[in-house]
Structure 1
Amino acid sequence: MLHKHLADGIEKQVTALLLEEGVEHPATLKIVTEHPVRSEHGDYSSNIAMQLAKILRKPPLHIAQTLQQRIQEQGSVQSLFRQVDVAPPGYLNFYVNWTLWAEMEGAAVIAQEGMREGKPLKVLVEHTSINPNKAAHVGHLRNSCIGDSLSRMLRYAGYQVEVHNYIDDLGNQLADTVVGLLHTQTEQSYARFGDFCWETYAKVNHAFKENPALLDERVKVLHALEEGSSNLAWVGELVAERIVREQLEEMKHFGIGYDVLVWESSIVKAGFWQDAFALLQETGMFHKETEGKLAGCWVLKQSSEGPGAEENADFQADKVLVRSNGILTYTAKDIAYHLWKFGILPNDFVYKKWSEGLWSTAPSGSKKPIGRADCVINVIDHRQQYPQAMVKLALSVLGYDEQASQLKHVSYGVVSLSPDTAAGLGIDVADGKAAYAMSGRQGIGIKVADLLTRMESIIDAKRSRQAGISSKAIAAAAIRYYLLKYQLQTEVVFDLQQATEVTGNSGVYLLYAYTRANSILEKAAVQPELQALVGKGKLDVTLLAEQENQLLRQIAYWPETLEAAVQQLAPSLICHYAFELASLFNHFYSACPVLKGDADLIAHRLWITQRYKETLHHALEVLGLPTPKGM
């Protein structure tokens, strides 16, 4: 990758310079390269001379000039940069040798050599994990899109990735829906079972307020679900399985899939907690309280310096894992589950085939080489920061510090509704809030299937012709991109009008920009005088226009953008990159007619168009967006 070659070349000269000056190389000194906004300032720049000014007690401009001379004389940036300039107050500006870059094997496709060096081989990504009690809403979809894109990024970077979807089939939410099925009435017809359960869940939560005694029925159902063999347990299992099948079908429309479904009931039946309990008992941080309000509870003690202590001052320092009545908390089961994820527990699940390419934990089945990860990534919204910190703490308490360091919580902001969207759903917005939270208990939210249907109709109405990719596929791409383009910690205030835009920074814009390049290359392929140039053109730096230079720079930045996105676990970086790439291509297309001019010029521009298409293709695949031939 260009920026690595450059950083290594600068580092070599800096090390030699410090040695000559008799100065020890500071451990904190870091070679950073940046992308200048203006192309006349180079394709890369570095402020290393300004960092060295205090260390060497010399003007940064003088240091930059010294480094410039050394780099030019010794060729320590491997000839990939044709020129290095100095700019006040001490910047080093580097200009790519585009001829050599173009000749490099994989210049556009860009192999990912070295990206895995020193990093875990197998990564287990858990995402989606929706309660199996009703239809999924757009907030759930953000989780799934983030998790799926992370999985794609990691696979592209060379990791072995295993994707899990955790199904809480023993929780309050499923119990509430079962109680609602048995104790509420509805006469309305529904196209999907999940929609019926959506209304039922809201109804039963309203009924709990009017008739608190009904909460006793929830307790009965919870006990039945955990015991697992009564009529109530079978009702719960049937509801959960039907809902999960519908949710998985919904996710398929967005290109989202999984390798494993892990059911919470399987964790309990496999006896994971018993083994985890025995391990925790051997530590000095896990004990049974004998007095106070936690008497009879087994708790994991958290030091004041423990993870999440400052951010979660409202939480008690001692985390209850087993209640006084013997009931396990969610955190207890999650600790056991993560010990299994890292291959620490001696026992294991058995699996049955759920569908093609998808396995599910089951009461009986076969063993599979699943789990035993080097790194675990959990995609869960920011409200789960404290429980995730407790799982990490438990790993450390047990002496598994390496595994604790490789447990990553990808936290993200929740999805709420804009005032206009909320009003459209019948929510009272008279209080003038900037955003309105979705609530399954109140039946407030935008269901994934409803959103996709509405978006599809909007796309269908705006299309001038129906060719190539379907309106539903375009709609899914638009929604997915909308949920991915925001930084993870940003709360997405979902607005139907904005989400259905087909211009600007949108998924639809990217698809059109991709198909435009495809159309150009196809037109060239059917013209007898141009056929020989397709796929055989070459870059001619003497013909480079400014728009072409800008586009080449962005293409060259792809591998380091992907690397940064993988390191930061941030799909939004790919979104920003792809949008900028598509915008620069459209500028190039407007200013530089590809199929007009002499043969050398056309060959030159076809080469750039092909490289652009290949690069955007990779970015779209990483984002989980389609790469259609036509729109």
Structure 2
Amino acid sequence: MRMFLAFRAEVERLLMDALQNTYGDSALSALTAHTAPHELERLLEIDMESEHADISSRIAFSLSKILRENPSKISAEIVKNIEIPENSLVSSVKAVGPYINFYASELFFEKSLREILGGICFHRKGRVIIEHTSANPDGPLHIGHLRNACIGDALARILRHAGYDVETQYYVNDMGKQVAILVSGMKYMKIDEKKKIDHAIAEIYVKANKIIEEDEEKMREVEELMRKYEQGDAETVRKYEEVVEKCLNGIRETLHKLGIYHDRFVWESEFVRSSDVSDVVKALERSGRLIVHGNAVLLKMESVDKDLVIRRSDGTSLYSTRDIAYHRWKSERCDFMIDVLGKDHELVAKQLGEALDILGVKRPEILIFEFVSLPEGSLSTRAGRFISVDELIERAVARAYEEVARRRDDIDEERKRKIANIVGIGAMKYDMVRVSPEKNMVFNIEEAIDIEKKGAPFIQYAHARASSILREAEKRGISDDGVNKNDLKNDLKIEHSSERALLMKLAMFDAVILRACDERKPHIVAKYARELAEVFNQFYRDCAVLSARDDIRSSRLLIVKCVRSVLKTSLNLIGIEAPEEM
């Protein structure tokens, strides 16, 4: 049983019973008239983040409009009719003005800790395909790709933790004009072997693109390469695959530094060679929605103003057609699919969705993220001005190393480097997911590394602090053996408000995971991890652990053990390592 969700469900039951007893069917009918049964939390106006209660309800405000009574009077009447049973997860309820405040019982805290110690399990069912990153194979990843990769990876981790069978995919755009430009450029330019392969390829791309823009003959050569590749010319295919695979190797290397791995790389060309693209075009022809514009073929759109080009005037397919074929293929292999896309893909995503509707294929869920920039401003790959993710990693780790070296002159160089790598990369990844995807963000390395800014280093430090307490306890021969973990009724001691606040924050973990999973928003986990670290630090300031008297020391050690476990899991869910020391 997931305890915080069980606590919320009990609050909802108590409220519904009290409403029935106080106002009867008429008021309930008026309240539920436009509310689905699964929206009970919204109906009862449940607030799980109240500063004055463990759970609070604002239902009196809604009822006051129906009953034309003062909301404070209504809340007092409802509380009179709330009967808390024995062995409840609710200890008490109070009317505070118009609010109805519920407080958790010690039984709730005992069961919550037992659940954390045993490992919180979820049993969501279904196969999911998440496509993320999918940068063009024409150079290294930049900061926009970084946000895509971090959000996609975190979402995959969260859904897996919830029980889903998740496959992550990288869709390789090997048929785009960029690759043809590269293949053309490789004829008269050599790769700089001294540089990381994707960076060397980017240099060739930028130079070749400039030449082609000024030379019509070279442009025709690029167009011919695109036709040959689509037709499956063996020599052209070999050249394409060689350059694309080289660039992908560089991209993979960067992603692996970040701890991000894709289960499958799916090449766009697969759907042309397999006839999937031609099958899509034939199916769309049967829909009667295709129109001819010049020599090009377009799909008439109804949900957006811009029609979708299905085939070029020269007869070659487009990314859009191949993307439809890819999603049709994916839909046969999963229960639902999620695409992580930048804001600039919003129109394309809408066109794709309508095309799939026409074909009778389920739409993907689209997770759109807004742009991310650096304090220096956004930079473009096409013009050859960009800051790569590799450079950002180097800067972040170097900055983290400065902090580690300044604070820890008691450890050897190898340990300093290891901690700096964990902290630097963790700071980058946390900043990419801490902001809700639909919001713009500026990534500032100095602020990301600064432990006072309460980013990843702040959370990692809290985990390291909990680990340090437990190590010191072991060194002194102190343990939580005095606590019966199967029955905490007599052994869990809650003596300080900071202790209680920490237990409540720990207990909320199950609800946080499922909310992040259902809303497809990893930043919910990132925010929770920061809040848990804050509450734990307050507990650390207010409550002695190792020097506490014997009857509460074991209890507090057990709480610290749970904090370490939940912090580690929270960080892992957003793809960040939890160091044992900092």
- What is the TM-score with the length of structure 1 in the denominator? 0.83
What residue in structure 2 maps to residue 478 of structure 1? Answer: 427
Cα distance change on mapping 1:112 and 1:185 into 2, 3 Å: closer
What residue in structure 1 maps to residue 335 of structure 2? Answer: 374
Contact 1:288 1:296 in 2 (8 A): no
What residue in structure 1 maps to residue 296 of structure 2? Answer: 297
Please list every run of 5 or more consecutive structure 2 residues that lacks an aligned counterpart in the other structure. Answer: 36-41
Contact 1:578 1:620 in 2 (8 A): yes
For 1:462 and 1:496, locate their aligned partners in 2 and report how far apart those are by CA, in whole Å. 13
Give 3-state SS (helix, strand or coil) of 1:411's partner: strand
For 2:229 and 2:282, locate their aligned partners in 1 and report how far apart those are by CA, in whole Å. 25
What residue in structure 1 maps to residue 173 of structure 2? Answer: 168
* Larger proportion of helix: 2
Q: Aligned AA for 2:171?
A: Y
Q: Choose which of 11, 27, 46 in structure 2 pairs with 1:33.
A: 46
Deviation of the 1:217 alpha carbon = 2.6
Q: Choose which of 440, 446, 451 in structure 2 pairs with 1:497.
A: 446
What residue in structure 2 maps to residue 333 of structure 1? Answer: 322
What residue in structure 1 maps to residue 38 of structure 2? Answer: none
Q: Choose which of 548, 554, 567 in structure 2 pairs with 1:597.
A: 548
What residue in structure 2 maps to residue 95 of structure 1? Answer: 103
Contact 1:7 1:32 in 2 (8 A): no
- The range that moved more, 537-546 or 328-337, is 537-546
Contact 1:227 1:233 in 2 (8 A): no
Deviations 1:138-193 (A, max 9, x none): 2211111100000011111111111111111111121222223224578x663311
For 2:258 and 2:249, locate their aligned partners in 1 and report how far apart those are by CA, in whole Å. 15
Deviation of the 1:110 alpha carbon = 6.4
Deviations 1:484-531 (A, max 9, x none): 112212223233433443442221221111011011112212323546
Cα distance change on mapping 1:621 and 1:332 into 2, 3 Å: same
- What is the TM-score with the length of structure 2 in the denominator? 0.89
Deviation of the 1:609 alpha carbon = 0.9
Cα distance change on mapping 1:181 and 1:534 into 2, 3 Å: farther
What residue in structure 1 maps to residue 290 of structure 2? Answer: 287
Aligned ranges for residues 71-90 of structure 1 at < 5 Å?
Answer: 71-72=82-83, 79-88=88-97, 90=98
Q: Choose which of 394, 417, 420 in structure 1 pairs with 2:374.
A: 417
For 1:9 and 1:107, locate their aligned partners in 2 and report how far apart those are by CA, in whole Å. 26
What residue in structure 2 maps to residue 443 of structure 1? Answer: 384
What residue in structure 2 maps to residue 554 of structure 1? Answer: 505
Deviation of the 1:111 alpha carbon = 3.3
Cα distance change on mapping 1:73 and 1:106 into 2, 3 Å: closer
Deviations 1:375-400 (A, max 9, x none): 11000101111111112112222334
Contact 1:535 1:607 in 2 (8 A): no
Q: Aligned AA for 2:89?
A: L
Deviation of the 1:272 alpha carbon = 0.9
For 1:627 and 1:9, locate their aligned partners in 2 and report how far apart those are by CA, in whole Å. 40
Give 3-state SS (helix, strand or coil) of 2:43's partner: coil
Give 3-state SS (helix, strand or coil) of 1:134's partner: coil
For 1:91 and 1:109, locate their aligned partners in 2 and report how far apart those are by CA, in whole Å. 35
- The range that moved more, 225-234 or 319-328, is 225-234
What residue in structure 2 maps to residue 452 of structure 1? Answer: 393
Between the aligned residues of both structures, percent identity stands at 28
Aligned ranges for residues 226-241 of structure 1 at < 5 Å?
Answer: 226-241=230-245
What residue in structure 1 maps to residue 218 of structure 2? Answer: 214
What residue in structure 2 maps to residue 259 of structure 1? Answer: 263
For 2:567 and 2:16, locate their aligned partners in 1 and report how far apart those are by CA, in whole Å. 32
Q: Aligned AA for 2:339?
A: N
Contact 2:368 2:437 in 1 (8 A): yes
Q: Choose which of 54, 57, 72 in structure 2 pairs with 1:61.
A: 72
**Counterpart check, 1:177 vs 2:182:** yes
Deviations 1:62-120 (A, max 9, x none): 33223223322567xx71110100011x2110011133331354156663557x4xxx7
For 2:533 and 2:256, locate their aligned partners in 1 and report how far apart those are by CA, in whole Å. 26
Contact 1:164 1:262 in 2 (8 A): yes
Deviations 1:237-294 (A, max 9, x none): 101111112211211121111111100111111111122223223323x2242xxxx1
Contact 2:14 2:83 in 1 (8 A): no
- The range that moved more, 3-12 or 247-256, is 3-12
**Counterpart check, 1:565 vs 2:516:** yes
For 1:57 and 1:541, locate their aligned partners in 2 and report how far apart those are by CA, in whole Å. 46
Contact 1:109 1:614 in 2 (8 A): no
Q: What is the Cα-based RMSD across aligned positions, in Å? A: 2.5
Deviation of the 1:562 alpha carbon = 1.7
Contact 1:165 1:261 in 2 (8 A): yes
Contact 1:72 1:84 in 2 (8 A): no
Deviations 1:512-560 (A, max 9, x none): 1101101111221232354634885958676421221221221122222
Cα distance change on mapping 1:559 and 1:32 into 2, 3 Å: farther
Q: Which 4+ residue blocks in structure 1 deviate beyond 6 angstroms?
A: none
Contact 1:525 1:531 in 2 (8 A): no
For 1:150 and 1:67, locate their aligned partners in 2 and report how far apart those are by CA, in whole Å. 40
Deviation of the 1:440 alpha carbon = 0.9
Q: Choose which of 193, 204, 207 in structure 2 pairs with 1:203.
A: 207
For 1:223 and 1:504, locate their aligned partners in 2 and report how far apart those are by CA, in whole Å. 53
What residue in structure 2 maps to residue 524 of structure 1? Answer: 473
What residue in structure 2 maps to residue 270 of structure 1? Answer: 274
For 1:138 and 1:534, locate their aligned partners in 2 and report how far apart those are by CA, in whole Å. 48
What residue in structure 1 maps to residue 313 of structure 2? Answer: 324
Deviations 1:312-343 (A, max 9, x none): xxx52x22212232221211111111111111
Q: Aligned AA for 1:98?
A: E
